Amino acid sequence: MSFSQAATILAKQLRELQRENAVEGISVGLIDDSNIFEWQVIISGPSDTDYEGGIFKAILKFPHDFPLNPPKMKFISEMYHPNIYPDGDVCISILHAPGDDPMHYETADERWRPVHGVQSVLLSVVSMLNEPNTESPANIEAAKLSRENMGEFKKRVRRTVRRSLESL
């Protein structure tokens, strides 16, 4: 996959996500019009989740061999979630390199495959916000708190939602 092929694929997917294939509650755009490999993502906290009402900013960075390898996603808004590292990096299977998992936590089918597109990533992130995976956490504290003290976990998430709105 060449740089120009990856850029063409990304430009097409960006256009589609801004028009006919938009994901509800998510807006995408380029951070810098001269760089198709870095996108800004704005996610409205999904309805009926603890994140409802929040507006969260993230960055998608694409490798120059996309779609052979997955993008990296990082929230720049504070996020308190079991599958988001404290520094904002998102940890979900679809963003892991293709092939077998050396730790055997996930199958090759759960990991990135070139047939996936950006829409699949965004839908997976929304799903992750709806249903965190506490069995394979990126934020161990958040996962532990969600299992042991749901009331306190929800309180921390509400604080995160409030802060997301304050930073607009």
Helices marked H in the chain — which ranges? 3-18, 118-130, 140-148, 150-166
CA 103 to chain centre: 22
Q: Is the Cα dihedral 39, 72, 145, 150 positive or negative?
A: positive
Query: Please, what are the averages of pLDDT over each run of 10 residues along the chain (168 residues)?
Result: 88 94 93 97 95 97 96 97 97 86 72 91 94 91 96 97 92
Number of folded domains that form the chain = 1
Looking at residue 1, what is its pLDDT? 63
Q: Which residues pair with 42 in a beta bridge?
A: 27, 57
> What is the CATH number for 107?
3.10.110.10
Looking at residue 66, what is its pLDDT? 95
Annotated catalytic residues are 91
